[in-house]
Chain A
Amino acid sequence: GNSVTQMEGPVTLSEEAFLTINCTYTATGYPSLFWYVQYPGEGLQLLLKATKADDKGSNKGFEATYRKETTSFHLEKGSVQVSDSAVYFCALRAGGFKTIFGAGTRLFVKA
Protein backbone atom coordinates (compact mmCIF):
# COMPACT_ATOMS: atom_id res chain seq x y z
CA GLY A 1 0.00 0.00 0.00
CA ASN A 2 0.91 3.67 -0.15
CA SER A 3 2.97 5.11 2.69
CA VAL A 4 4.99 8.13 3.74
CA THR A 5 8.02 8.10 6.01
CA GLN A 6 9.49 11.30 7.40
CA MET A 7 12.31 11.95 9.79
CA GLU A 8 11.50 11.85 13.46
CA GLY A 9 11.72 15.00 15.47
CA PRO A 10 11.99 17.17 17.20
CA VAL A 11 14.43 19.15 15.12
CA THR A 12 15.99 22.08 16.99
CA LEU A 13 17.82 24.79 15.05
CA SER A 14 19.12 28.25 15.68
CA GLU A 15 17.68 31.15 13.74
CA GLU A 16 19.15 31.50 10.22
CA ALA A 17 20.25 27.85 10.13
CA PHE A 18 19.60 25.60 7.12
CA LEU A 19 16.67 23.23 7.41
CA THR A 20 16.16 19.81 5.84
CA ILE A 21 13.32 17.49 6.76
CA ASN A 22 13.53 14.19 4.94
CA CYS A 23 10.48 12.51 3.42
CA THR A 24 10.32 9.32 1.37
CA TYR A 25 7.26 7.62 -0.02
CA THR A 26 5.95 4.37 -1.42
CA ALA A 27 3.14 4.57 -3.94
CA THR A 28 1.80 2.95 -7.04
CA GLY A 29 1.42 5.16 -10.05
CA TYR A 30 2.19 8.86 -9.94
CA PRO A 31 1.02 10.50 -6.74
CA SER A 32 0.87 14.17 -5.92
CA LEU A 33 3.13 15.12 -3.02
CA PHE A 34 2.53 17.75 -0.36
CA TRP A 35 4.04 19.45 2.64
CA TYR A 36 1.62 20.76 5.25
CA VAL A 37 2.47 22.94 8.24
CA GLN A 38 0.64 23.05 11.56
CA TYR A 39 1.25 25.97 13.91
CA PRO A 40 0.42 25.48 17.60
CA GLY A 41 -3.30 25.16 18.23
CA GLU A 42 -4.25 25.42 14.56
CA GLY A 43 -5.31 23.18 11.70
CA LEU A 44 -3.00 22.10 8.91
CA GLN A 45 -2.16 24.48 6.08
CA LEU A 46 -0.79 23.53 2.71
CA LEU A 47 2.81 24.74 2.49
CA LEU A 48 3.72 23.50 -0.98
CA LYS A 49 3.00 20.73 -3.46
CA ALA A 50 4.33 18.97 -6.54
CA THR A 51 2.28 16.93 -8.95
CA LYS A 52 4.84 15.22 -11.18
CA ALA A 53 8.43 14.06 -11.22
CA ASP A 54 11.11 16.79 -11.09
CA ASP A 55 8.55 19.45 -10.12
CA LYS A 56 9.74 21.83 -7.44
CA GLY A 57 7.18 23.21 -5.03
CA SER A 58 8.06 26.41 -3.20
CA ASN A 59 6.44 28.82 -0.76
CA LYS A 60 7.61 31.22 1.97
CA GLY A 61 11.26 30.29 1.34
CA PHE A 62 10.58 26.55 1.64
CA GLU A 63 11.29 24.22 -1.27
CA ALA A 64 10.86 20.54 -2.08
CA THR A 65 11.58 18.62 -5.29
CA TYR A 66 9.65 15.55 -6.42
CA ARG A 67 12.33 12.91 -6.98
CA LYS A 68 10.82 9.80 -8.49
CA GLU A 69 14.14 7.96 -8.80
CA THR A 70 14.70 8.17 -5.05
CA THR A 71 10.97 8.37 -4.12
CA SER A 72 11.72 11.42 -2.00
CA PHE A 73 10.29 14.89 -1.35
CA HIS A 74 12.64 16.52 1.15
CA LEU A 75 11.70 19.90 2.59
CA GLU A 76 14.41 22.59 2.70
CA LYS A 77 14.77 26.19 3.76
CA GLY A 78 17.94 28.17 3.59
CA SER A 79 17.45 30.33 6.69
CA VAL A 80 14.83 29.48 9.28
CA GLN A 81 13.12 31.97 11.56
CA VAL A 82 11.58 31.60 15.00
CA SER A 83 8.18 31.93 13.32
CA ASP A 84 8.86 28.70 11.38
CA SER A 85 8.51 26.70 14.59
CA ALA A 86 5.70 24.26 13.86
CA VAL A 87 4.94 20.65 12.96
CA TYR A 88 5.55 19.70 9.33
CA PHE A 89 3.71 16.85 7.62
CA CYS A 90 4.68 15.19 4.36
CA ALA A 91 1.76 13.64 2.47
CA LEU A 92 0.71 12.04 -0.79
CA ARG A 93 -2.44 11.48 -2.80
CA ALA A 94 -2.56 8.78 -5.42
CA GLY A 95 -6.07 9.29 -6.72
CA GLY A 96 -8.11 7.48 -4.07
CA PHE A 97 -10.24 9.00 -1.35
CA LYS A 98 -7.51 9.23 1.24
CA THR A 99 -4.47 11.39 1.81
CA ILE A 100 -1.54 9.46 3.26
CA PHE A 101 0.28 11.51 5.90
CA GLY A 102 3.64 11.03 7.51
CA ALA A 103 3.90 11.10 11.29
CA GLY A 104 4.95 14.76 11.37
CA THR A 105 8.21 16.44 12.35
CA ARG A 106 8.26 19.09 15.03
CA LEU A 107 10.63 21.99 14.40
CA PHE A 108 11.87 24.31 17.14
CA VAL A 109 13.80 27.41 16.08
CA LYS A 110 15.71 29.27 18.80
CA ALA A 111 16.48 32.98 18.63
Chain B
Amino acid sequence: SQTIHQWPATLVQPVGSPLSLECTVEGTSNPNLYWYRQAAGRGLQLLFYSVGIGQISSEVPQNLSASRPQDRQFILSSKKLLLSDSGFYLCAWIRGPPAKDEQYFGPGTRLTVT
Protein backbone atom coordinates (compact mmCIF):
# COMPACT_ATOMS: atom_id res chain seq x y z
CA SER B 1 0.00 0.00 0.00
CA GLN B 2 1.02 3.58 -0.54
CA THR B 3 2.23 5.82 2.29
CA ILE B 4 3.17 9.48 2.34
CA HIS B 5 5.49 10.98 4.93
CA GLN B 6 6.17 14.57 5.85
CA TRP B 7 8.70 16.02 8.24
CA PRO B 8 9.07 17.75 10.45
CA ALA B 9 5.59 17.66 11.95
CA THR B 10 5.97 21.07 13.56
CA LEU B 11 8.46 23.85 13.10
CA VAL B 12 9.01 27.25 14.68
CA GLN B 13 11.38 29.48 12.75
CA PRO B 14 12.37 33.16 13.04
CA VAL B 15 11.73 35.61 10.24
CA GLY B 16 14.57 35.60 7.73
CA SER B 17 15.67 32.04 8.44
CA PRO B 18 15.77 29.32 5.76
CA LEU B 19 13.23 26.54 5.40
CA SER B 20 13.29 22.97 4.16
CA LEU B 21 10.26 20.68 4.33
CA GLU B 22 10.44 17.17 2.99
CA CYS B 23 7.85 14.80 1.62
CA THR B 24 8.36 11.21 0.51
CA VAL B 25 5.95 8.71 -0.96
CA GLU B 26 6.24 4.94 -0.68
CA GLY B 27 4.57 2.19 -2.62
CA THR B 28 4.12 3.87 -5.98
CA SER B 29 6.25 5.11 -8.85
CA ASN B 30 6.15 8.25 -10.96
CA PRO B 31 3.46 9.99 -8.90
CA ASN B 32 2.31 13.53 -9.47
CA LEU B 33 3.34 15.44 -6.32
CA TYR B 34 1.82 18.57 -4.80
CA TRP B 35 2.52 21.15 -2.10
CA TYR B 36 -0.41 23.00 -0.56
CA ARG B 37 -0.56 25.63 2.15
CA GLN B 38 -3.46 26.15 4.49
CA ALA B 39 -3.59 29.37 6.50
CA ALA B 40 -5.41 29.23 9.83
CA GLY B 41 -9.10 28.63 9.28
CA ARG B 42 -8.73 28.86 5.52
CA GLY B 43 -8.92 26.60 2.50
CA LEU B 44 -6.16 24.99 0.48
CA GLN B 45 -3.78 27.00 -1.66
CA LEU B 46 -1.86 25.05 -4.28
CA LEU B 47 1.79 26.16 -4.24
CA PHE B 48 3.64 23.75 -6.53
CA TYR B 49 3.14 20.53 -8.40
CA SER B 50 5.50 18.15 -10.13
CA VAL B 51 4.90 15.52 -12.79
CA GLY B 52 8.44 14.12 -12.74
CA ILE B 53 11.99 14.44 -11.47
CA GLY B 54 13.21 18.01 -11.87
CA GLN B 55 9.85 19.21 -13.25
CA ILE B 56 8.24 21.87 -11.07
CA SER B 57 5.22 24.05 -11.81
CA SER B 58 4.66 27.09 -9.61
CA GLU B 59 1.14 28.29 -8.96
CA VAL B 60 1.73 31.35 -6.81
CA PRO B 61 4.71 33.75 -7.00
CA GLN B 62 6.30 33.99 -3.56
CA ASN B 63 9.54 33.43 -1.73
CA LEU B 64 9.10 29.65 -1.70
CA SER B 65 10.60 27.14 -4.10
CA ALA B 66 10.22 23.41 -4.65
CA SER B 67 12.46 20.66 -5.92
CA ARG B 68 12.07 17.02 -6.83
CA PRO B 69 15.47 15.38 -6.69
CA GLN B 70 14.09 11.82 -6.75
CA ASP B 71 10.96 10.21 -8.11
CA ARG B 72 9.22 9.99 -4.74
CA GLN B 73 10.76 12.94 -2.92
CA PHE B 74 9.43 16.48 -2.95
CA ILE B 75 11.06 19.34 -1.06
CA LEU B 76 9.72 22.79 -0.23
CA SER B 77 12.29 25.48 0.53
CA SER B 78 12.77 29.11 1.30
CA LYS B 79 15.92 31.19 1.66
CA LYS B 80 14.31 33.76 3.96
CA LEU B 81 11.00 33.16 5.72
CA LEU B 82 8.35 35.84 6.08
CA LEU B 83 5.69 36.08 8.79
CA SER B 84 3.10 35.39 6.09
CA ASP B 85 4.69 31.99 5.43
CA SER B 86 3.16 30.65 8.63
CA GLY B 87 0.60 27.92 8.01
CA PHE B 88 -0.08 24.25 7.63
CA TYR B 89 1.83 22.71 4.71
CA LEU B 90 0.43 19.62 3.09
CA CYS B 91 2.07 17.33 0.59
CA ALA B 92 -0.11 15.18 -1.65
CA TRP B 93 0.24 12.73 -4.51
CA ILE B 94 -1.83 11.23 -7.24
CA ARG B 95 -0.92 8.53 -9.66
CA GLY B 96 0.23 9.81 -13.04
CA PRO B 97 -0.48 10.49 -15.85
CA PRO B 98 -3.40 12.93 -15.40
CA ALA B 99 -6.48 11.08 -14.29
CA LYS B 100 -9.63 11.56 -12.31
CA ASP B 101 -8.49 9.69 -9.23
CA GLU B 102 -8.35 11.03 -5.69
CA GLN B 103 -5.36 12.70 -4.10
CA TYR B 104 -3.66 11.26 -1.05
CA PHE B 105 -2.42 13.68 1.58
CA GLY B 106 0.38 13.56 4.09
CA PRO B 107 -0.04 14.41 7.77
CA GLY B 108 1.16 17.99 7.26
CA THR B 109 3.77 20.30 8.76
CA ARG B 110 2.71 23.13 11.05
CA LEU B 111 5.05 26.09 10.43
CA THR B 112 5.08 29.10 12.72
CA VAL B 113 7.27 32.02 11.72
CA THR B 114 8.06 34.32 14.64
Which residues in A have some Cβ–Cβ distance to B below 8 Å? 31-32, 34, 36, 41-46, 49, 51, 89, 93-99, 101-104, 106
Q: Which 9 A-B pairs have the closest CB atoms?
A: A32-B100, A43-B105, A103-B43, A44-B105, A93-B100, A43-B108, A46-B102, A104-B43, A101-B44
Most buried by A among B57, B98, B107: B98
Q: Is the CB of B101 within 8 A of A93?
A: yes
**Residues of B close to A97: CB separation below 8 A:** 32, 49, 51, 57, 98
Q: Is the CB of B101 within 8 A of A42?
A: no
Which residues in B have some Cβ–Cβ distance to A below 8 Å? 32, 41-44, 46, 49, 51, 57, 90, 92, 94, 98-108, 110
* 25 A–B pairs (Cβ distance < 8 Å), ordered by A: A31-B100, A32-B100, A32-B102, A41-B108, A41-B110, A43-B105, A43-B107, A46-B103, A51-B100, A89-B43, A93-B99, A93-B100, A94-B100, A95-B98, A95-B99, A97-B98, A98-B46, A98-B49, A99-B94, A101-B43, A101-B44, A102-B43, A103-B43, A104-B42, A104-B43
**Residues of A close to B90: CB separation below 8 A:** 43-44
- Inter-chain CA distance A45–B108, complex, in Å, is 12
**Residues of B close to A102: CB separation below 8 A:** 43
Q: Is the CB of B103 within 8 A of A99?
A: yes
B4 CB → nearest A CB, Å: 8
A64 CB → nearest B CB, Å: 14
B52 CB → nearest A CB, Å: 12
**Residues of A close to B98: CB separation below 8 A:** 95-97
Q: Is the CB of A42 within 8 A of B102?
A: no
**Sample of 8 further A-B pairs with CB below 8 A, known A42-B108, A46-B103:** A31-B100, A41-B108, A43-B105, A49-B102, A94-B100, A97-B32, A97-B51, A98-B49
